[in-house]
Amino acid sequence: MPHLFTNIGEYPTGLMLVFALVFVLIYEAINGFHDTANAVAIVIYTRTLCSKLAVIMSGVFNFFGVLTGGLSVAYTIIHLFPTELLLNISSICGLAMMFSMLLAAILWNIGTWYFGLPTSSSHTLIGSIIGIGLTNALISNTSMIQALNVSKLIEVCLSLIISPIVGLVPAGAIVFCFRHYCNDKKTYFRINLTPTEREKKDGKQKPPFWTRIALILSAAGVSFSHGSNDGQKGIGLIMLMLIGIMPAKFVVNMNANDYDISRTYDAVSRLERYYMQHYSNELISNPIIIYSTNKNVLTVFNSQTLNQINHHVCSQAKTNNCGTPERVLCAINYLLLLLNNLDNYETLNADQRSSVRYLLIYIADIADNMALLPEMPTVDKRLLLNLRKDLLNTIEYAPTWVIFAVALSLSIGTTVGWRRVVTTVGEKIGKKNMTYAQGLSAQLTAAISIGIASYTGMPVSTTHVVSSAVTGSMLIDGGGLQITTIKNILLAWILTLPVTIILAGSLYWTLFCLI
C-alpha cells in the first residue's frame, strides 16, 4: 500500500486517491455501526453478554468475515453499474458518479441511524447506483433501459425483497419447535424464559450455560456472515475508485502469474472457437446479444485501438458500427494477440493493459448475454458462464491491503454508534421481552441465510433478515408486535430506494454541472 502515496504531491491524483479511500472507508464504518447493531442486539437484551464485550466480539468476527468472504458479492455489486461507467471509470464523469453514489448512501445511512431505524445499507447502495445510472442516461440522452445492468439489477433486487421472508419464516419455524418440543422438558424448559423470568425463577441474570453458549455462537455467526457479505461491497467500491484514479496500476491484477493469464487466454480461445462455430446462427447473431448492453462500449474501439485491430488481425472490419459479429471476432483476436505468451502484465504498457480490461469486460458481457437467452441449450449456458468467470479472473480481484482496510474499517465502525439501532431491535419490535428461544431463532436464521448468500454471490440485507427474524419469532410465540415500530421500519424500507435514487441523481447532476 505505501507505494500508492509515493507521488501524493501530484495534484489531483494523490488528493483524489486519499479522498476516495476516506469516502469508502467512512461508508464502511457507518455500515459497521448501522448494520452490525443487529448482530449484537439479541445477546445484549438477553443478558448473554455485556454491551462492551458483545460489540468487541462482533467487531472481531466482522473483521475475519471480510478477510475470508471472497469477492463474489463485491463484483455482483460492481456489475450493477452501467457498462459505460465500468469502461470509463477513469473519466471525470465516472468519478463524479462514484462520489455522488457514496455521498448519497452515507447521508441516508446516517439519517436512518439517527432515528434508530434499522434500514439496509445494501438497499441504500443499490438505490444510489440506480440514481446515478438513470441520471447519466438523462445527461447523455441515452436509453434508460441501457443505463443499468437490468438482468443483474432484477436478480439483486429480488434477493433484497426475499430477505425479510428469509428472516420471518425460518425464525418463526425454529421458535415454534423450541416452544413445542422443549416446553415440557425440565432440561430445556428455561430456553423459553425471558431474562426477567429467569431472574425471578432461578435468581440468575445470565441464561442457562448451554443456551448462553448457543446465543454467543449464533451472534458471532451473524457478525461473521455480515462481514463476509457487506464487507465485500466496500471492497468493490474501493477497487472502482482505484481503477478510476490510478488505472495504470489497477485496471488488471499486476500480481497475476503466468498461470492466471494463461487461464484467461484459454477462456478467450475457447470463446472464439464457440463463436466462430455458431455466430452465423441466428441465435448467436441476435441483436439483443450484440447491441443491448454493449452499445456503450464503443470506447473500446477508439480510433487507436481500431487501427491496431485492423492492422494486426482484422483489416476487413473497418466499419464503426459497434457490435457486428465480425467486430466481436476482431475484439477476441486482438485480445488473444495481447495475451499470447504473456507471463505478467508488467510487459504491457498502460494503454495495452487498459485495452485488455476493456475487451475482457466487453467479451464477458457478450458471453453472459448469450448464456441468458432462454433458447440457449443448458450445456452451452453452463459452458458460457464458466468461460465468463475465467475471462474476468485477472480483472476481478482485490489487493490484500484493500481487504484489510475494509475489514478494519467495518470492525472499528461496529464498536461505535451501535446503541440506537440496538434499542429498536431489542426493545421496540415485540410488545413483550424477548425469550432466549426467540433470540436464538433469529440469530440462527440470520447467520445461516446471510452466510449462504455471501458464498453464492448474492448481496442480501443483514438488517432486513435480522429484524424480520425477530418479528417472525414474536409472531409465532404470541408476544405481539409494536405496530408503530413495524410501520416505521416498513416506511424506511419503502422509502430507501426512491430517496437514494433521487439523492444520488441530484448530487451527480450537480457535480456534472460544476465540471
Helix (H) or strand (E) holding 33: helix 13-35
The position carrying cell 472502482 is: 240
Beta strand segments in 248-321, E: none
Question: Does 455 score more than 70 pLDDT?
Answer: yes
Rg, the chain, Cα only: 25
The position carrying cell 464457440 is: 274
pLDDT of residue 261: 93
pLDDT of residue 308: 46
Average confidence (pLDDT) over 218-246: 84
What pLDDT band is residue 244 in, cutting at 50, 70 and 90? confident
Distance CA 318, CA 418 (A): 60
Q: Which of 156-170, 218-232, 271-285, 293-307 has the highest mean pLDDT?
A: 218-232
pLDDT of residue 458: 74
Q: Is the peptide bond before 12 cis (omega within 30 degrees of 0)?
A: yes
In the numeric block, which cell numbers belong to residue 304? 487507436
Average confidence (pLDDT) over 46-65: 85
What pLDDT band is residue 429 in, cutting at 50, 70 and 90? low
Of the candidates 18, 33, 368, 402, the residue with the CA atom closest to the CA atom of residue 236: 402
Which residues, other chains included, contact 239 with Cβ-Cβ below 8 Å and sequence gap of 6+?
Answer: 74, 78, 250, 397, 398, 402
The position carrying cell 433478515 is: 465
Question: Does 264 score more than 90 pLDDT?
Answer: yes
pLDDT of residue 26: 86
What pLDDT band is residue 240 in, cutting at 50, 70 and 90? confident
- Domain spans, the chain: 8-248+401-514, 252-391
- Residue 290 near residue 325, CB atoms below 8 Å: yes
Distance CA 317, CA 324 (A): 9
What pLDDT band is residue 76 in, cutting at 50, 70 and 90? confident
Average confidence (pLDDT) over 10-29: 74
Taking the mean position of all CA atoms in its chain, how far away is CA 148? Answer: 16
- pLDDT tens sequence across 129-138: 888 888 888 8
- pLDDT tens sequence across 310-357: 444 343 333 333 345 666 777 788 888 889 889 999 988 888 888 888
Question: Does 269 score more than 50 pLDDT?
Answer: yes
Average confidence (pLDDT) over 24-50: 79
In the numeric block, which cell numbers belong to residue 329? 471476432
DSSP string, 80-132: TS-HHHHHSTTSHHHHHHHHHHHHHHHHHHHHHHHTT----HHHHHHHHHHHH
* 319: number of Cβ within 10 Å: 11
